[in-house]
């Protein structure tokens, strides 16, 4: 009997980059009308012969201090960036670094979705990766994946990378 591996994933980001859209596109295969998340949504999805319990935690500034309460038992993080919102990119990178440098998440892979790639002002994933300084981080598994959550573009590729990272870490 084949037993699927189970993973707990924390998905965060500023408000409105598309976290909840990603969650329900993966869960339902469709887009749903969303409102700002003032707390969290949690769903289990099956991808690549694995079960992922995704914790989509709200991103308004007053809620971000609560993210750390979700760190325990996390196998990976997903940080969603609105690649079209260049005015808030510095803020997003700051919040991602707080997450990436958290001691509790020291050996946890971090997948970053550079979302909304279909919009004309969206920065490409390579540029965001450079701005985040990911190439300068040693000993951690980090990856920026371009995505268009409303169309599902880039989501499977991001999770394929995440699977490889989890396998490499023996999780």
Q: Are strands 40-47 and 50-57 parallel, antiparallel or unpaired?
A: antiparallel
158 is in an annotated binding site: no
Question: Does residue 34 have a known ligand-binding role?
Answer: no
5 class by beta-carbon count within 10 Å (0-12 exposed, 13-18 middle, 19+ buried): middle
The reply to whether 18 sits in an annotated binding site is yes
The span from the CA of 25 to the CA of 132, in Å, is 26
Is 77 annotated in a binding site? The answer is no
Residue 84 known to bind ligand: no
Residue 107, annotated as binding a ligand: no
Closest CA to 45 of 19, 64, 22, 67: 22
Check whether 73 is labelled as a binding-site residue. Answer: no
**Known binder of ligand: residue 16?**
yes
The answer to whether 97 is a known ligand-binding residue is no
Q: Are 125 and 144 in contact (CB under 8 A)?
A: yes
Q: Answer yes or no: is 135 a known binding residue.
A: no
Q: Is 152 annotated as a binding residue?
A: no
75 assigned binding-site residue: no
Q: Does 151 carry a binding-site annotation?
A: no
Question: Which residue ranges are tagged as binding site for GTP?
Answer: 13-20, 59, 115-118
Question: Which residue ranges are tagged as binding site for Mg(2+)?
Answer: 20, 37
């Amino acid at each position: 009997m084949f037993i699927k591996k189970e993973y707990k994933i924390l998905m965060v980001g500023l408000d409105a980059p598309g976290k909840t859209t990603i969650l329900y596109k993966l869960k339902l295969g469709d887009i749903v009308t969303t409102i700002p998340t003032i707390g969290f949504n949690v769903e289990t999805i099956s991808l690549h012969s694995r079960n992922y319990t995704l914790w989509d935690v709200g991103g308004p500034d007053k809620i971000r201090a609560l993210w750390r309460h979700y760190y325990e038992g996390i196998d990976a993080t997903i940080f969603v960036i609105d690649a079209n919102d260049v005015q808030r990119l510095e803020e997003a990178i700051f919040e991602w670094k707080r997450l990436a440098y958290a001691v509790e998440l020291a050996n946890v892979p971090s997948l970053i979705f550079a979302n909304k790639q279909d919009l004309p002002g969206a920065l490409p994933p390579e540029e965001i990766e450079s701005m985040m300084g990911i190439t300068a981080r040693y000993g951690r598994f980090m990856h920026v994946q371009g995505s268009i959550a409303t169309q599902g573009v880039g989501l499977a590729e991001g999770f394929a990378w995440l699977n490889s990272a989890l396998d490499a870490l023996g999780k």
